[in-house]
Homo-oligomer: A and B are copies of this chain.
Amino acid sequence: MNATRQTPDRPDLNVCVCANLRRATRMVTQAYDAALKPAGLRATQFTMLSVLAGRGRMRQSDYAEFLGMDGTTLTRNLQPLLKKQWIRIDRDDDKRVRLISITRPGQRVLDKAVPLWRTVQSQFVKGLGTEQWAGLLGALATTLDIARAD
């Protein structure tokens, strides 16, 4: 009985949490990117716009924290959205702070993307089944907690 051996002598794609996450993320992102393509945005951009649509104007730092994204990554990820004028950046009274919000064109492209998202999303949810799906979200939340506790 050695079915749940946890740290084998050999590091192995089959057990490495990071390698498994990265591989799955690559493939899943390809699927979401392809599905969202007719709307003209990528998976990351869809997520970023959804957050703004759901939560309203946010401080850039809170936005990064919520996305679990490094601040410098967020700075750069804002650029494609800005160029397409899907978001706007306002200054706060505190001149260091930037406030990010979705624009009307941003909301329109998001609305156009939602049905496409729903299709690809339900493909994965159905394929996983309720149990594995809930398990996945739970496990991902746990890994987030572990990483954030570092």
B124 touches A146 (CB 8 A): yes
Q: A7-B122, A130-B4 are in contact. Are A147 and B28 (CB under 8 A)?
A: yes
Number of copies: 2
Task: Please name all residues of chain B whose beta carbon is closer than 8 Å to the beta carbon of A26 when the two chains form the complex.
Answer: 68-70, 73
**Interface: A136 (CB within 8 A):** yes
**In the complex, what distance in Å separates the CA atom of A134 from the CA atom of B122?**
23
A13 touches B51 (CB 8 A): yes
Give which listed residue, B14, B127, B130, B137, contacts A15 with CB less than 8 A: B137
Q: A121-B17, A124-B17, A132-B138 are in contact. Are A144 and B22 (CB under 8 A)?
A: no
Give which listed residue, B21, B46, B47, B67, contacts A28 with CB less than 8 A: B21
B28 touches A18 (CB 8 A): yes
Q: Show 27 A/B contacts (Cβ-Cβ < 8 Å), sorted by A.
A: A4-B130, A6-B130, A7-B125, A11-B46, A11-B118, A12-B50, A13-B47, A13-B54, A13-B66, A16-B47, A17-B124, A18-B25, A18-B47, A19-B47, A20-B137, A21-B28, A22-B44, A22-B47, A26-B73, A28-B143, A30-B147, A31-B147, A123-B146, A127-B145, A128-B139, A132-B138, A133-B139
